[in-house]
Structure 1
Amino acid sequence: MGEDDGEEKSQVRAWVAWLRAGGTPETTIALRRYYVRRLERDHRDVLALDADTLAAWLGANGWAPNTLKSARAALRSFYGWARHMGLREDSPAHLLPTVRVPRARPRPTPEAAYRAAQMQAGARERLAIDLAGRCGMRRGEIARVRVEDVEGDLAGRSLRVTGKGGHVRLVPLPHDLAETILEHGTGWVFPSPRGGHLTPHHLSKAVSRLLPDGVTMHSLRHRCATRAYAATRDLRAVQELLGHSRPETTATYVLAPDDAVRAAMSAAAA
C-alpha cells in the first residue's frame, strides 16, 4: 500500500466520523461509504476529480436510476464535506445532474405467498413476517426489537420503534404479536449467536427463503400498506404506521384497490 492510498483512506474515515457525529444512520453511512470506496478503487486521487470525471464514472457502471441516485448522494456528501473542511475549494459532485427516478409501482406480497410463508415458517421467521406484513416494519427495525420496547396504551399495546434518521414512532401491535414478543422475557427478540441482535441482512435472507422468487421481505411492507389503505382510505394514517416522512413515499407502497380506481373513473365519467 502506498502512502497516497493511506491518505485517501484516512480521508474517508474522517468523513465517516463526521457523518456519525451528525447522527447519520449506520445503514446510510455504510451505503455512502461503499460508493466512495468504489470510486476510490477506480481513481486514486479522488479529491482531484472534476465533475465530468464523476459524471463519466456514474454513467459507466450501468446502474439503475435508484442506484445512480444513491451513488450521487454519496458523492455530494463526501465532496461537500471535503469543501467544508478546506480540502477542496468546490464540490464537483454538486454540479452533477439530478437523477430522475421513475415512479415505482407498489409490489405487495401476493396474499397466497404471504399465507404460505406463515404456514412454513418457524416461530422466529413467522414473527418477522408478521411484523413486516401486518405492522409495516422495516427489516432493520424488526431485527432490533427488544421486549422492553413493548408499551401499553389506551387501546392495547404498541411497539416503540426507532426508524430511519433516528425517528421514534409507536407501532400498534395486534394482541397475538404483543404476547409473542413478551414471551421472550427480556432483551433482543431476534438475538444473534454472536451476541447482540441478528443483522437485517441475515433476517431478510431467512424470511426471503420462504417467499417465491422475486418476492422480498420488503414487499411485506407493501402488503401492509396496501391492506391498511384499502381498509381505511386514510393515507396519512398509513404514513404514520410505516414511519415515512412524506405521504408521497407512502403512496408508492399502496396498490390502489381496483374497485377504488374504477369508482374514480365512474365518478369522472358521470
Structure 2
Amino acid sequence: MSDNNLTIATKDLSQTLDIQQITPEYFIAHYPEFIQRVIAKGNPSSDTMRHYCNQIDFFIRWCLANQRNPLALNEYQLLMYREFLLNRQYKAESIKVMLIAVRAFYAAARKLELIRVNPAAEVEAPTASSSSDALLHFYTPQQMNEIVHVFDEDKDPFTRYRNKLILFLMGVEGLRNIEVHRACVEDVNWEARAIMIRGKGHKGRLEPIYPCDETFAVLEEYLKAIPTDREIKKDGVLTPLILSSSNRNLLGRISRNGLRSIMNKALDACDLKHPGYSCHVFRHSCGTNLYHETKDLRLVQDVLRHRDPKITARYAHVADRLDKRYTSKLVPHD
C-alpha cells in the first residue's frame, strides 16, 4: 500500500472510532494515524511522515527488546534510551531528531488521554559540536575527483552519470540531500541554463540556481542514459529527476536513504568515509572550496542560498582556522 493510500485508510478508520475505544495497544500499533495531527501543524508531507515513523519504529523496537511498554515509560527510562543512542555513537544532531519524533509519539498519546504527561518533554539531546567544528568536515577538490573516479568505473551509463550528477549537485552546486531528492525534470530551464530548486520545508520554496557547464554536461549525459524500455514512474504530474535503480522502485524517485547509500559506497571505495559524515558534508565542501578559491562571502551566500549572511560568515572563520592549522605545520617547533 502506498503512503498516500495508507494515510487515507487510517484517516477513514480513525473517523469510525470513538476516542474512548482507542486502547494503548491500538495506539501503539496504529500510531501513524494519530501523530500526523501533532506534527507539521497537522499537515505533514509524506516524506515527513515517513521520517517520523522510521524514528518512532526504532524507538518502539528498543522498548520491545527491553520488555517495556512504550506508553508506560517514565522520564528516567527515556534518559536510558538517550544513553543507548549515545552508546551507539549517534551524533548529537541525530539524537535530537530522534527525540523530537518520540516526543511527537507521546504528544499524540497525551491528546488521546492515554497518558497524563509526556515523559520525553524534558529529555534533551546532548550538546552538539559548534557549527565551525562541523564545517571543518569537507572534501577538497582533489578528494572530490577521487570520488568521481569511483563512479567512472561503473559500466552502466545510467547509474554512472546519475551518481556523478548527484555528486555534482551536492558538492559543486551545494544542494541539500532533500533538494536533490525533490528535483524534477520540469525544474530544468535549458534556455536560461538554470534549475529551479525545491527547498527544504514542507512546501519547498522554488528558487533558481545556475549550475556550471560541467554540471549541465553531466545532466545531459544522464538524461540520455536513462533506460527507455520502461516508463519513468511519475510523481503526480511531475517527472522525478534522480531515479532509482533498485528492483523495488525501478525508475521511480530515489529515496533520501538511496542517495546516502550511493554516496557512502563511493566514499568507502576511495577510503574517504569517516564516522559522523553525512551527505551534508558535500554542501559544506562546496561552500568551503568556493570561499577558499574566491574569498567572496557574498558569492558563497548566493550559491548556498543562505538567507542570513551570519550563517555564510562561518565559512570565513573556518578558512581562518584551516589557514592557521596549515601555517602551524610549516613553522618548525623547538
Q: TM-score category by the smaller chain?
A: 0.7 to 0.9
1:188 aligns to what? 240
Q: What is the CA–CA distance in structure 2 between the aligned matches of 1:165 and 1:176, rounded to whole Å?
A: 29
Question: Where does structure 2 lack aligned partners over 5 or more consecutive residues?
Answer: 1-22, 152-159, 225-237, 328-334
C-alpha separation in 1, matches of 2:321 and 2:55: 43
**Counterpart position of 1:148:** 186
Q: Is residue 190–residue 198 contact of structure 1 (8 Å, CA) maintained in 2?
A: yes
Report % sequence identity.
23
Closer, same or farther: CA 66–188 of 1 in aligned 2, 3 Å: closer
1:226-249, CA deviations, whole angstroms, 9 ceiling, x for partnerless residues?
Answer: 022334545565355335676676
User: Does 2:255 correspond to 1:199?
Assistant: yes
The more displaced of 220-229 and 185-194 is 185-194
* Residues 49-102 of structure 1: CA deviation (Å, up to 9, x unaligned): 222221222223424423332222222222233334444333221122453112
**CA distance in structure 1 between the aligned counterparts of 2:117 and 2:217, rounded to whole angstroms:** 55
Deviation readout 1:154-195 (Å, 9 max, x if unpaired) = xx4321122321332322212343355356389333223524
Q: Could you tell me which residue of structure 2 aligns to residue 19 of structure 1?
A: 39
Structure 2 match to 1:80: 107
TM value normalised by structure 2: 0.63
Q: 1:213 to 1:26 in 2, by over 3 A?
A: farther
Query: How many residue pairs were aligned?
Result: 259
Secondary structure, counterpart of 2:193 in structure 1: strand
CA distance in 1, matches of 2:49, 2:217: 35
Separation (CA, whole Å) in 2 of partners of 1:130 and 1:152: 17
User: 1:197 Cα deviation (Å)?
Assistant: 1.8
Q: Is the 8 A contact 2:291 2:315 kept in 1?
A: no
Q: CA deviation at 1:135?
A: 0.4
In structure 2, do the counterparts of structure 1 residues 45 and 240 end up closer, same or farther at CA, with 3 Å as the change threshold?
farther
Match of 1:50 in 2: 74
| Alignment equivalent of 1:220, drawn from 262, 274, 282 | 282
Alpha carbon RMSD of aligned pairs, Å? 3.6
Residue aligning to 2:167 = 129
Supply the AA of the counterpart residue of 1:52: Y
Q: Which 10-residue stretch deviates more, 176-185 or 86-95? A: 176-185
Contact 1:146 1:188 in 2 (8 A): yes
Distance in 2 separating the partners of 1:129 and 1:256: 23
| TM-score, normalised relative to structure 1 | 0.75
Does structure 1 retain, via aligned residues, the 8 Å contact 2:260–2:279? yes
Contact 2:56 2:101 in 1 (8 A): yes
1:109–1:220: 8 Å Cα contact kept in structure 2?
A: yes
1:210 match: secondary structure = helix
For 1:68, the equivalent position in structure 2 comes to: 95
Taking the aligned partners of 2:150 and 2:108, their CA distance within structure 1 comes to 48
AA aligned to 1:66 is E
1:238 equivalent in structure 2? 300
1: CA distance, partners of 2:54 / 2:36: 11
What CA deviation, in whole Å up to 9, does each residue of 1:181-222 have, x standing for no partner?
356389333223524222233333334333323436443222
Aligned residue number for residue 268 of structure 1: none
Note the C-alpha offset of 1:146: 2.2
